[in-house]
Structure 1
Amino acid sequence: MVIASPVAWWAMNLWLRDFNYKIDINWMYFILAGMGAILIALGTISYQTWKTIRTNPVDSLRDE
């Protein structure tokens, strides 16, 4: 995220400057998107970890 955000911001500004209607891309959008991705990843990992912790190992051994 540290490397990709500045490169993406630079590339987007370079691309958008050729349009007739000029807009500025705020760097905060990239930070918020990165933080959202990190939160989704942490939530997914936490859910899978919690599900694994709650599983009884005896039930897994009986199936094999």
Structure 2
Amino acid sequence: MVVVAFVRDRAEAIDVLAGFRERFYRCLNRRADALFELADALLCTDGPVKTLVGLPLAPEHRRGHGAMRG
């Protein structure tokens, strides 16, 4: 499914993005919060992501790495 949205101003763009994020979150079944935050980190990281192992260390990924918790 391809969705194309043409927006005229910033407020409309934010509404379109919020709607997309809500629909995407509803598509996730198990571990939805973790997968959603991982997708955010993947899309917001500066530069290409070479491995998923280092991605939880990105500032956009709020959960951190499970093995690093004490």
Q: TM-score, normalised by structure 1?
A: 0.33
Task: Determine which structure has the larger helix proportion and give its number.
Answer: 1
Q: Which has the higher contact order (CA 8 A, sep 6+)?
A: 1
